[in-house]
């Protein structure tokens, strides 16, 4: 089983819903209010993982990304387009618009347990919650922005058992902080 990394924009009150405003929520766009240095380029410090790992996305995030990345040619976008992407969905069949995308086979837990590469999960709250429920997240890279959103889904929902992580690093990224938490 590969290492599973969850990356997310998070508000001070733990909200991850609609950081860019594309969801059309009344509170959306809260992450983009803090300038491009917070969200542009390799904001989650994926680095070489973009060459060796796989990006796991739910349908909604894949649809959002497939409308953004394929038409861009900067270095980060080129890596994003080349990176293998696996989509956890039962409703999509044609993934040709976003290069190197394939449909996930089997259940999410089966896929994660059989994937030898490092898996990065971006957005895709339903995927994150399923991985959390099966205790399959090894690392969180959370970009915390100085906004209190007040409404929306939070990165962590109710849990049956406590799960403890260790703070590995904190970096300033514009107005935000990127904190990396790993299993001890």
Collapsing DSSP states into helix, strand and coil, what is residue 87? strand
Residue predicted with more confidence, 2 or 134: 134
Nearest to 55 by CA among 121, 8, 129: 121
pTM of the predicted protein model: 0.91
Taken as a whole, the chain contains a residue count of 184
Q: Which of 29-38, 74-83, 86-95, 135-144 has the lowest mean pLDDT?
A: 29-38
pLDDT at position 155: 92
Q: Which tokens belong to 124?
A: 């895709």
Domains of the chain: 4-182 (3.40.430.10)
Give the chain's radius of gyration (CA, Å). Answer: 16
Is pLDDT at 6 greater than 90 in this prediction? Answer: yes
The Cα 45–Cα 69 span in angstroms is 18
Torsion of CA 38, 72, 108, 178, to 10 degrees: -10
Q: Do the beta carbons of residue 108 and residue 130 sit within 8 Å? A: yes
The Cα 143–Cα 74 span in angstroms is 22
Is pLDDT at 40 greater than 70 in this prediction? Answer: no
Most confident of 25-34, 64-73, 141-150: 141-150
């Amino acid at each position: 089983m590969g290492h599973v990394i969850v990356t997310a924009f998070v508000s001070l009150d733990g909200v991850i819903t609609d950081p860019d405003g594309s969801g059309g929520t009344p509170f959306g766009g809260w992450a983009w209010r803090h300038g491009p240095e917070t969200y542009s380029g390799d904001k989650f410090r994926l680095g070489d993982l973009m060459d060796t790992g796989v990006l796991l996305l739910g349908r909604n995030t894949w649809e959002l990304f497939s409308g953004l990345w394929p038409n861009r040619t900067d270095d980060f976008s080129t890596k994003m387009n080349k990176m293998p992407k696996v989509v956890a969905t039962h409703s999509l069949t044609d993934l040709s618009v976003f290069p190197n995308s394939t449909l996930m086979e089997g259940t999410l837990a089966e896929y994660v347990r059989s994937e030898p590469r490092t898996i990065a999960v971006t957005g895709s709250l339903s995927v994150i919650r399923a991985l959390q429920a099966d205790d399959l997240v090894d690392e969180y890279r959370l970009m915390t922005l100085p906004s209190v959103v007040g409404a929306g889904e939070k990165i962590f929902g109710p849990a049956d058992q406590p799960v403890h992580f260790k703070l590995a690093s904190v970096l300033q990224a514009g107005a935000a902080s990127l904190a990396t938490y790993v299993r001890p």
